[in-house]
Amino acid sequence: MNILLIGSGGREHALAWKLSQSQRISKLFIAPGNAGTKNVGTNVDLDPQNFEAVRDFVRGNGIHMVVVGPEAPLVAGIVDYFQLEPTLKYIPVIGPSKQGARLEGSKEFSKEFMMRHNIPTAKYGSFTADSLEQGFEFLETLSSPYVLKADGLAAGKGVLICDELVEARIELTSMLVEHKFGSASDKVVIEEFLKGIELSVFVLTDGKNYKILPSAKDYKRIGEGDTGLNTGGMGAVSPVPFADQDFMNKVEQRIVKPTIKGLAQDGIDYRGFVFIGLMNVKGDPFVIEYNVRMGDPETEVVIPRIKTDLVDLFEAVADQSLDRVQLQVDDRTACTVMLVSDGYPGAYQKGRQIGGLDKVKDSVVFHAGTKDDNGNVLTNGGRVLAITSYGESIGEALEQSYANAQIVSYEGKYFRTDIGFDLKN
Ligand code: AMP
Ligand code: GLY
């Protein structure tokens, strides 16, 4: 089977690494990929948002399946595009339709979905510039801190948490009236603050059946002890120790089942990953957000723990026979540590030469933001490399990743030294 995987980050390198281990793969292409994906497949210089270019590549290269890593092409409707093209409609695309992708593309849509299907989530209201006054009134009914969310995609920056009511009023005005996040904040969801500990649960669904993949926790802040600015993620751990059988049963009964059933009831074609951001509030799970893709860097710890052939899983997603595949999971813990460029998540330099990759032992290095330059590997993003290790405990896995984090070198290398700090016992 020939597969085209779309994307260029650590998530896609992890997916490509796993796909390439399948006996069933003939050719694996990654568009556009990075210096790491090049080692497990063939990179294709193609803009995934340009669906005509994707179509031409798929037709010209005998592609049998397309796997979409990031949300943007899904939100833009790549699945629908394939279904509407007579020559493409028999080629499965792993990912939800445009309507399904609204679970991530619109906060209001996802909140309405949760309300409709009785899925536990924070109390909320949704407002526009015309209902600014009502927004102020709704804020009065809540207590500090106040959570404001731009309705649309805002590159992970659209959520503000304000301690003071006056600050929340100012930010709400700035989002709705001054277009703080452009058109993404033409609508704002105001939410009750949920106090607890976060984790991510990933589900693979064919629209009828589902598999709950290993749980993971990521570390979003740039600084030690979860301080400083939000990033795409500085490291991740799987499994999450507090996500025990009892907690995961609640997640499955109260959240996963009604989500999959709700999508079907709403007539939404959804064959792909659902990433459920959860808050554990005193032992009870509440949904913070849905994403319609895998997490990054969570993929770099979840995928290495899946023993089942990924091509078998994806094929079952496409033909709705996921109930006939067994999901086998590695019992070991996997941890990943993200090496980033200094300055990130603000401005940073690119093009710095990376050394020591050949000296890494007993870890898997997933490339996040790298570029191949005639055999030299250069930094090409804020997040550069994710170093994943297995262990019998979080501590053991991290020790190995940290040893290798010292060996890899490039100018301006930075990483957090306390990934998993809140989970280690
Ligand atoms: P989101 O983009 O919806 O994942 O929000 C970004 C981050 O804001 C989440 O990872 C949480 O840490 C935090 N957050 C979002 N909604 C809430 C909420 N209702 N209560 C507490 N924290 C929240
Ligand atoms: N690590 C969080 C995300 O992928 O959105």
> From the alpha carbon of 194, which atom of ligand 1 is closest?
20
* CATH number of the domain where residue 66 is located: 3.40.50.20
Q: Do both 32 and 91 map to the same domain?
A: yes
> From the alpha carbon of 296, which atom of ligand 2 is closest?
4
Q: Do both 83 and 138 map to the same domain?
A: no
- Asked whether residue 308 is assigned to any structural domain, the reply reads no
Single residue among 97, 112, 144 that ends a domain in this structure: 97
Question: Taking 70 as the threshold, does the pLDDT of residue 276 lie above it?
Answer: yes
Percent of the chain whose pLDDT exceeds 90: 96
CB-based contact 93:66 (threshold 8 Å): yes
Single residue among 97, 132, 165 that ends a domain in this structure: 97
Token couple for 211: 């598999």
Question: pLDDT tens, 21-72?
Answer: 999 999 999 999 999 999 999 999 999 999 999 999 999 999 999 999 999 9
- With cut-offs at 50, 70 and 90, classify the pLDDT of residue 389: very high
- Asked whether residue 137 is assigned to any structural domain, the reply reads yes
Domain span holding position 73 = 2-97
How many Cβ atoms from other residues are within 10 Å of residue 377's Cβ? 23
Q: Do both 85 and 17 map to the same domain?
A: yes
Say what the pLDDT of residue 425 is: 57
120 touches ligand 1 (CB under 6 Å): no
277 touches ligand 1 (CB under 6 Å): yes
- Asked whether residue 130 is assigned to any structural domain, the reply reads yes
Q: Do both 87 and 128 map to the same domain?
A: no
Ligand 2 centroid to residue 232 C-alpha, Å: 6
The single-letter code of the amino acid at 50 is N
Smallest CA separation from ligand 1 atom 3, residue = 289
The single-letter code of the amino acid at 17 is W
Q: Do both 90 and 141 map to the same domain?
A: no
Q: Do both 28 and 86 map to the same domain?
A: yes
Give the closest residue to 224 by CA, choosing from 409, 415, 425, 394.
415
Taking the C-alpha atoms of residue 83 and residue 89, their distance in angstroms, rounded to an integer, is 4
- With cut-offs at 50, 70 and 90, classify the pLDDT of residue 230: confident
Say what the pLDDT of residue 154 is: 84
Q: Do both 19 and 86 map to the same domain?
A: yes
- Asked whether residue 256 is assigned to any structural domain, the reply reads no
- Asked whether residue 37 is assigned to any structural domain, the reply reads yes
Q: Do both 29 and 84 map to the same domain?
A: yes
- Asked whether residue 274 is assigned to any structural domain, the reply reads no
- Overall number of domains in the chain: 2
- Asked whether residue 387 is assigned to any structural domain, the reply reads no
Give the closest residue to 338 by CA, choosing from 204, 228, 233, 225.
233
Q: Do both 46 and 129 map to the same domain?
A: no
- Asked whether residue 108 is assigned to any structural domain, the reply reads no
* CATH number of the domain where residue 145 is located: 3.30.1490.20
Single residue among 192, 221, 240 that ends a domain in this structure: 192
> From the alpha carbon of 298, which atom of ligand 2 is closest?
1
33 touches ligand 2 (CB under 6 Å): no
Question: Taking 60 as the threshold, does the pLDDT of residue 105 lie above it?
Answer: yes
Mean pLDDT of all residues belonging to the chain: 96
Upper half-sphere CA count for residue 117 (Cβ side, 13 Å) = 21
* Residues contacting residue 226 through CB under 8 Å, at least 6 positions apart: 219, 220, 422
Say what the pLDDT of residue 277 is: 96
